[in-house]
A and B are shown apart, each in its own frame.
Chain A
Amino acid sequence: MTNELAQRAQELRQLIFKTIYWAGGGHIPSSLSIAEILVVLYFRFLRVDPQDPHAQDRDRFILSKGHAGVALFSVLAMKGFFDRKLLASACHLGSPLGGHPDMVKVPGVDASTGSLGHGFPYGAGIAFAGKQDQKDYKVYCLLGDGECQEGSVWEAAIFAAQHKLDNLVAITDYNKLQAIDFLDNVGSLSPLADKWKAFGWEVVEVNGHDTEDISCALKKVPFKKGKPSMVIAHTVKGKGISFMENAPIWHYRMPNTEELKIALKDLQLSEEDLKSL
């Protein structure tokens, strides 16, 4: 299973890169850092049916860091929510796929995100509704670490703990970078786990690129009955493309011809592979 998931993560990285290449631009490093998290969720935990994307009792996945939308589109295509050829249309006129996910347009997307600090409270609302309606679905919500600088994240943290939303599972993509710099140089969140604990959450820290580690944590949710769960996933922004890893400048930038060659090699793609999705 672990090998299979690691392979899927590699495939997802290739799809992400190819999709953004075809789109002509996008958030590559922010998408690459969550590859393992997404494949573990979609191929191991989420109870979702690509044939029935609006099923009322389905688990929800909210990509609160909506700028990694291409990663979500790619994993949805891998899961069969739509034909992966659709990825080639992203950001082109007439496509339902853009730079950020839109739940009205894209099957499998549970929330339209893009503006940070929205998806998480929105997901808390779905979790709250689930409790009220006595449903047994879970809501998984992936947050960016920079996103946790938004006040609304902490408003929702208070709300979720207050209402004992143990059906809410948040995952922080803790890659320590935001758009133009390291968090520690801008608005440090350290110590992040202590912050969430202080807000009434149960916290587990994992290696966000180790599918087994992520799985072990998610198997145990809720970490404590009556409390919301937070998985802090330590990740590397740009993971998988050597020159993008931990390099702030790549947040929204496309490689030049020379850099492209390196990126393809890093992702085990040929130039021929790049021609089709």
Chain B
Amino acid sequence: MRTAYIETITKLTKENPKIYSMVGDNGAIVFDDYRRDFARNFVNFGIAEATMTSVAAGMASCGAIPFIYTIIPFLVMRAYEQIRNDICLQQMNVKIVGIGAGLKYSTLGPTHHAIEDLALMRVLPNITILSPADAKETRKATELAAHLQGPVYLRLGTNKEHVVYEGDHSFELGKAVVLQEGYDVTLMATGDLVWDALMAVKKLSAEGLSVRLLNFHTIKPLDDKQILKAARETKKIITIENHSVIGGLGSAVAEVLAQSHDEAILKRLGINDQFCVAYADYESLKDCYGLSANKIAAATMDFVEQK
């Protein structure tokens, strides 16, 4: 995703010199070409995320389109009040690009994990939240962010995410993508876990289950229609996210269901109100926390079998 983002921002900067790529002392090597070719548009702030955020807002007030980029907790949490006051309150055209969604920085531990950011960002007025599933979708999300007027949070993993989309696919703001139709249960996933959900669906389909899979690449505005349709048609919904079960996609879906007349049972898969304390490679950590394809498949089967 990171490479896809940087390649896209490079293309966008070529087209529009108002775009700035601003980083908090990260992106060695991956940003080398950009730094060389667009020295004017690249700003390394050093380790000063709060000021990077306010400066970006000030620049946006003069017509610039700054993309501020660093590891999620340092941006979303450290500079949260700057995001709220200087960007969202004033509707500044700044793009907040967080890397390392969920447990992606697996071995670096809980300081570098990001399992609260969707909750924090979802509550801010005036912001759009994009959470692409793979590199290809990251390109589309980055393009969309550049062309949308106003604050955008782009939630990315790191690199080497699995490929969800082989061919071309639609990417429309606020519209969940139906990756597979089904009627026994609906899986709603976001970010890189869309791939794990897809693998789970393949396994479950082979076992005769009819599973619907939706990719929520946009967390805000949320695709209420697809949620309510799934509630009516499948009655059972599982949300899957690289985030705490509190405040992210699962909560957002629960809010929609709670206010509807359509009855459905919801199960939320994510990090269960705890810090991740294990150190391991990413695939192992996902398995530890019930977010691997196998664990998602098993949880889905249990859920469907429950009366």
Which A residues are within 8 Å of any B CB, using their own CB?
A: 56, 103-104, 110-112, 114-115, 117-118, 120-130, 132-133, 151-152, 155-156, 158-159
Contact = CB atoms under 8 A, between A and B. Distances in A.
A-B interface, 7 closest residue pairs, ranked by CB to CB distance from nearest: A125-B58, A121-B54, A125-B55, A155-B51, A155-B48, A129-B62, A122-B58
B51 A104 contact: no
Interface stretch (B81-89, B140-148, B289-297): B81-89
A124 B58 contact: yes
Contacts of B43: 128
Contacts of A124: 51, 54-55, 58
A126 B43 CA distance: 14
B85 A125 contact: no
A126 B57 CA distance: 8
Nearest to B53: A121
B62 A121 contact: no
Contacts, number: 91
A129 B40 CA distance: 11
Given A118-B81, A126-B58, 4 more contacts: A112-B90, A124-B58, A126-B59, A133-B62
Interface of B is mostly: helix
B50 interface: yes
A158 B25 CA distance: 14
B50 A125 contact: no
Contacts of A121: 50-51, 54-55, 58, 82
Nearest to A139: B58
Contacts of B48: 152, 155-156, 158-159
Given A152-B54, A155-B50, A122 B86 contact: yes
B91 interface: yes
B193 to A, nearest CB: 35
B56 interface: yes
Interface string B41-75: 00101101011001111111111100000000000
Contacts of A103: 61, 90
A122 B57 contact: yes
B55 A159 contact: yes
A120 B50 CA distance: 11
Nearest to B62: A129
Given A151-B50, A156-B54, A104 B90 contact: yes
B51 to A, nearest CB: 4
B58 A128 contact: yes
Contacts of B89: 104, 112
Contact of B81 (A115, A123, A132, A155): A115
Of the four ranges (under 10, 10 to 19, 20 to 34, 35 or more), the interface on chain B belongs to 20 to 34
A125 B57 CA distance: 7
Nearest to B20: A132
A63 to B, nearest CB: 14
A60 B271 CA distance: 46
Contact of A125 (B46, B56, B81, B91): B56
A118 B64 contact: no
5 contacts: A129-B62, A133-B62, A155-B50, A156-B48, A156-B54
Contacts of A114: 85
B128 to A, nearest CB: 19
A134 B43 CA distance: 17
B59 A112 contact: no
Given A128-B55, A156-B55, A158-B48, A118 B62 contact: no
Choose among A56, A129, A158 the residue with the greatest number of B CB atoms under 10 Å from its CB.
Answer: A129
A85 B81 CA distance: 33
A132 B61 contact: no
Contacts of A118: 54, 81-82, 85-86
A121 B53 CA distance: 9
Nearest to B17: A132
Contact of B55 (A110, A111, A117, A122): A122
B50 A129 contact: no
Choose among A114, A123, A125, A126 the residue with the greatest number of B CB atoms under 10 Å from its CB.
Answer: A125
Given A112-B90, A115-B81, A158-B48, A129 B54 contact: no
Contacts of B51: 121, 124, 152, 155-156, 159
Contact of A152 (B40, B50, B62, B63): B50
Given A104-B90, A112-B85, A158 B46 contact: yes
A112 B50 CA distance: 16
A159 B50 contact: no
Nearest to A126: B58
Contacts of A127: 58
A127 B64 CA distance: 12
A56 B62 contact: yes
